[in-house]
Amino acid sequence: MSKLIVPSTSPDASGKVLSVTPEFAGWKYVGFEVYALKPGQTLRKETLDLEACIVLLEGKAHVATRKKKWTDLGKRMSVFEKIPPYSVYVPSQDWFEVEALTELQLAVCLAPGKGTYEARCISPEDVGVEIRGSGNMERLIHNILPEQKPADSLLVVEVFTPEGHWSSYPPHKHDEDRLPEESYLEETYYHRIQPDHGFAVQRVYTDDRSLDETMVVRNGDVVLVPKGYHPVSAPPGYEVYYLNVMAGPVRTWKFKNDPDHEWLMERFKR
C-alpha cells in the first residue's frame, strides 16, 4: 500500500526530521531523508553500499567527500524562489560532510550504488529546466539527476505545480519491469506547500483498484509510491513543490499513462 510520512516537529541530534528506508517502505531500492541544520551544525554520513544525491533545498553550506570539497554552495533560501538547487552526487563506499552556513534544509536521496562514478557537484547550471504540460496541467521541472547524467541507480527531479494545476498528470505509472515499454521504479514524493498552512492532494491507484488511496498532503510530508498511478493536485491559493526520488533494477524512466486519461496528452500539443 502507499504510505504518507509526516515529518518530526523537532529534529533529532543529527538534524534529521524525516527518514524513509527500504525496510520501512517495504521495497528494495529507494531511501530518503530530510535534515534541518542550524548555522555551524555539521552532518557526516558514510554511504556504505549506497549512492547519494544531496539536494540543498534551502540555505547555504560547505560540502566535502573523501576526495573533494566544495565551499559556499547554495543560492536559494526558499524552494519557491524556483531557481535550480545545488546538489552533490556521492558514490557508494564514500562519505559526505555537510556544514551549514545558514539555516539549512537538505534532502539525502539514496539508492544502491556500485561506485562507478566519482563524487561531483551538480550546480544550478547543470540542472535541466523545462515546462511540462499545458493549461492547468502545466508545471515547472528541474531535472537534477536524470537518466542522461551519470549515476548507478538514482533519478532525482523537482516539480513546481502552480495553484489550481495538476501534475504527474495525466496519471502515469512505472511499476512493471517490461522494457522497453515500462520500467519498474519505486518513488518518493517530498512535498512543500506555499503558503505552508495549505495542502495538496495525491491519489495512488492501480488498474484493478486493489490500491486506491487519496491523501491530503501537508507541508513537509512524504508520499511513498510503490506502484500504480500517482497524480497530484494543487488547490487554488496554494503552490505545490515536490522532490521525486526514483530507483529500480534498470536506471531508466519508462512510464505508462492511464488509458482512461491518455487522451489528455493531445492537449500538451496545443
Using CA atoms, how far apart are residues 73 and 123, in angstroms rounded to an integer?
A: 9
73 within some domain: yes
232 within some domain: yes
Write down the pLDDT at residue 99.
Answer: 98
Write down the pLDDT at residue 9.
Answer: 84
Composition of the chain by helix, strand, coil, percent to 5: 5, 50, 45
Question: How does pLDDT run along the chain (270 residues), one tens digit per residue?
Answer: 678 989 888 999 999 999 999 999 999 999 999 999 999 999 999 999 999 999 999 999 999 999 999 999 999 999 999 999 999 999 999 999 999 999 999 999 999 999 999 999 999 999 999 999 999 999 999 999 999 999 999 999 999 999 999 999 999 999 999 999 999 999 999 999 999 999 999 999 999 999 999 999 999 999 999 999 999 999 999 999 999 999 999 999 999 999 999 999 887 765
Write down the pLDDT at residue 269.
Answer: 67
The CB density around residue 35, as the number of other CB atoms within 10 Å, is: 24
6 within some domain: no
- Cα dihedral sign for 147, 7, 2, 113? positive
98 within some domain: yes
256 within some domain: yes
Write down the pLDDT at residue 193.
Answer: 98
DSSP state at residue 185: -
- Select from 170, 218, 185, 149 the least CA-distant residue to 5: 218
96 bridge partner residues: 45, 65
Write down the pLDDT at residue 270.
Answer: 54
48 within some domain: yes
Domain count, the chain: 1
3 within some domain: no
Write down the pLDDT at residue 267.
Answer: 76
Burial class (CB in 10 A: 0-12, 13-18, 19+), 148: exposed
1 within some domain: no
End-to-end CA distance of the chain: 36
Determine the structural domain holding residue 22 and report its residue range.
Answer: 11-267
Give the CATH number of the domain where residue 117 resides: 2.60.120.10
Write down the pLDDT at residue 266.
Answer: 83
